Structure 1
């Protein structure tokens, strides 16, 4: 059962006991991501995430790493468009020690100038690695087409011009504005006892909000059609076709999730079966959806040899057209429902997955549906719901991103 404890300052603690495991997963969830950054802050959320690992007055970066190794724990972090998350998974007898280290990193990082300069180089290398990975790069460029006038359309990592200007004052100001009690959730799942909750309350329940805390208002971005084409000396051509999706709290989100499964989310999907299995046009072809507080996207991706790109896109368009005209079959919908329920239920068997689900639900969605409620939402979707979703999104103008060794100018690719 999920329990919730609210500290006096507004920090929320979400915890779920799993007495049959020996692990404890802990996550510090902060509502601070690239979608909330000003132009001059582009990449700052991600930079702060990196810098919290670089030392405190009592622990160097090496000591932090060694202490987690000594207790047999994993520590990690990530930044997304709407949040930053710092996580660890440890054996249950080391949970309080792990929380002490996380709290020290969170509240007492020194942001040493030399460490900052080194980490800027690391992040620029990380950005370069994305550009060297075409299936990642084509997706990054896609967002700049879909939402060119909104921060959510920008890459999370930032760009060299902004990263090089980051300093300690910018970090402190951004954290004072966003790393505030009401924007923080601590999520715990696993085999813990009340001492861990007391440790969390001791560290996170007393700090006060900054006088410069800002009201986070993420305006709803407007989806744009259009295209971006990048020529690069690579072996394959990569393409993303994007359509407007749905925000996280939309009542029809499960219609879209099931449509995704049928279109390209599984090995039995239409894209996989018709483009890879039947015609051998691509090794990697799939669809996925992304949902955020105020917007979303539905994306079809394929990677193939340049000479097969037009044929592959033609097949994608044929599949989309057939979905608009004829809809999905009852068998496809039944299979998609069972696959989605299986994926959902099996994904909840680890402490890490429970911690992530609960933290995201509390911080971003603001509610916790039971397992039975989620299963019911899936089962209640009918074939008309899915067909209407297909007709709605696929009738919109799409955004296109291509990376290819050839100049791809054909109208059929747009």
Structure 2
């Protein structure tokens, strides 16, 4: 799908980016706040996610039910999510409903009531959500892994917070957080689909023209330190869940495309090295994949798998061996070309969806400050050589840099004795 990318920065600092795709009938638009769980103190952990919930509980213009039905009644979707670095409120609508989407996003951002009785009620809902994560080992292990990696840094805390920090939240603390972070200079509006950029800018000027004294702000984030080592949490589960990871490259690094390809090679699908070796050849795991987590000042390349408790040590050693092989041996040209075609294909298929396009644009804006076109991304992938992959593997897969987190019915001593980190 051909598209046209445009960017406008309003005098108050609010950024507007759009990708016009005339061949579709949908639009996905997101209001992004450049603040997430890493911007919270330990005592306020979970407040960004809590606010994400609370804005749907009523504004000065709408009840909670009216918010829920406003876009749904015309076939649209209104939702939100919180990450470690951003909070996003988004709508997916048919193109003619763009004015309604912009208006309700502004209403949520500026006119939410944060009613005290609703706050107390929502605490119970979010504590149930926290308990659900704690009862789901495949989710919990990722929170434990983040804590192992980042220690006491805010990136190591769960996005949802804990039961105690959620119970400690109050309307006053929420309002203070809103005043600090929900500044227009800390907001981004990203939209992808059948839209005109000028019309979008006009709508934002109309509905986001709140008469308030916003301060120009620049986030002050403390760079994290990543901690290697082994951390085992005992829990009675049917399977043992494992995360293995190491520091990678910042998103702005020129070798980022090579990192994306390396991730695809090791665990990006059924043909990947880890899937073929760990599942198909050794039969040690049903689920295994690799992934990349990028932050403004750090990144992680990680592997997740689950296995029977009696296979934990064997599985970990097998994963580490596969990763080490990439340092010692160059891939042949056929493997490289296959991996490139897979990565390019997954990129193009992902862009069939306006939601994926909107998220991709926003990520580029926050991490790079510019847009990477599909053509540029494919050109970067085509240039990667076998030497580039081997060289990068030597950098990111250093034996003394791995962090391993294990959750299941195993003891730390059992794993530690068998694995030299």
* d(CA) in 2 for partners of 1:119, 1:333: 50
> Which residue in 2 is equivalent to 1:341?
344
> Which residue in 1 is equivalent to 2:21?
18
Aligned counterpart for 1:51 among listed residues 26, 50, 54: 54
> Which residue in 1 is equivalent to 2:103?
100
Q: Deviations over 1:13-42 (max 9, x none)?
A: 112222211111110011011111122221
Q: Kindly indicate whether residue 385 of structure 2 is the aligned counterpart of residue 385 of structure 1.
A: no
Q: CA deviation at 1:209?
A: 4.8
Q: CA deviation at 1:281?
A: 1.4
SS in 1 for 2:254: coil
* d(CA) in 2 for partners of 1:98, 1:370: 26
| Count, aligned residues | 413
Does the aligned pair in 1 maintain the 2:351–2:357 contact within 8 Å?
yes
Does the aligned pair in 1 maintain the 2:230–2:403 contact within 8 Å?
yes
> Which residue in 1 is equivalent to 2:366?
363
Q: Kindly indicate whether residue 221 of structure 2 is the aligned counterpart of residue 218 of structure 1.
A: yes
* d(CA) in 2 for partners of 1:331, 1:123: 49
Q: CA deviation at 1:330?
A: 2.5
Aligned counterpart for 2:230 among listed residues 223, 227, 230: 227
Q: Deviations over 1:55-97 (max 9, x none)?
A: 0122111111112221111111111111111111011222211
Taking structure 1 as reference, are residues 321 and 6 closer, same or farther at Cα in structure 2, changes over 3 Å only?
A: closer
* d(CA) in 1 for partners of 2:166, 2:332: 50
* d(CA) in 2 for partners of 1:412, 1:75: 50
Taking structure 1 as reference, are residues 209 and 366 closer, same or farther at Cα in structure 2, changes over 3 Å only?
A: farther
Does the aligned pair in 2 maintain the 1:327–1:390 contact within 8 Å?
no
> Which residue in 2 is equivalent to 1:34?
37
Deviates most, 123-132 or 348-357: 348-357
Q: Kindly indicate whether residue 74 of structure 2 is the aligned counterpart of residue 68 of structure 1.
A: no
SS in 2 for 1:240: strand
Taking structure 1 as reference, are residues 330 and 150 closer, same or farther at Cα in structure 2, changes over 3 Å only?
A: same
Does the aligned pair in 1 maintain the 2:192–2:358 contact within 8 Å?
yes
Does the aligned pair in 2 maintain the 1:149–1:221 contact within 8 Å?
no
Structure 2 unmatched runs, 5+: none
* d(CA) in 1 for partners of 2:178, 2:319: 44
> Which residue in 1 is equivalent to 2:208?
204
> Which residue in 2 is equivalent to 1:166?
169
The alignment's TM-score, normalised by the length of structure 2, stands at 0.94
Taking structure 1 as reference, are residues 131 and 374 closer, same or farther at Cα in structure 2, changes over 3 Å only?
A: same
SS in 2 for 1:303: strand
* d(CA) in 2 for partners of 1:346, 1:54: 36
Q: CA deviation at 1:121?
A: 1.1
SS in 1 for 2:324: helix
The alignment's TM-score, normalised by the length of structure 1, stands at 0.95
Q: Kindly indicate whether residue 396 of structure 2 is the aligned counterpart of residue 397 of structure 1.
A: no
Q: Kindly indicate whether residue 311 of structure 2 is the aligned counterpart of residue 308 of structure 1.
A: yes
Does the aligned pair in 2 maintain the 1:8–1:206 contact within 8 Å?
no
Q: Kindly indicate whether residue 124 of structure 2 is the aligned counterpart of residue 118 of structure 1.
A: no
Q: Deviations over 1:263-309 (max 9, x none)?
A: 11121111100111112211101111111110011111111111122
Does the aligned pair in 1 maintain the 2:234–2:407 contact within 8 Å?
yes
* d(CA) in 2 for partners of 1:13, 1:322: 45
* d(CA) in 1 for partners of 2:239, 2:158: 23
Does the aligned pair in 1 maintain the 2:72–2:78 contact within 8 Å?
no
SS in 2 for 1:40: coil
> Which residue in 1 is equivalent to 2:294?
291
Does the aligned pair in 2 maintain the 1:26–1:188 contact within 8 Å?
yes
Deviates most, 168-177 or 23-32: 168-177
Q: CA deviation at 1:113?
A: 0.8
Does the aligned pair in 2 maintain the 1:51–1:116 contact within 8 Å?
yes
* d(CA) in 2 for partners of 1:412, 1:220: 33
Q: CA deviation at 1:412?
A: 2.7
Deviates most, 107-116 or 11-20: 11-20
RMSD value, Cα: 1.7
Taking structure 1 as reference, are residues 323 and 236 closer, same or farther at Cα in structure 2, changes over 3 Å only?
A: same
Does the aligned pair in 2 maintain the 1:183–1:363 contact within 8 Å?
no
Q: Kindly indicate whether residue 331 of structure 2 is the aligned counterpart of residue 325 of structure 1.
A: no
Q: Kindly indicate whether residue 162 of structure 2 is the aligned counterpart of residue 156 of structure 1.
A: no
* d(CA) in 2 for partners of 1:210, 1:41: 23
* d(CA) in 1 for partners of 2:200, 2:354: 15
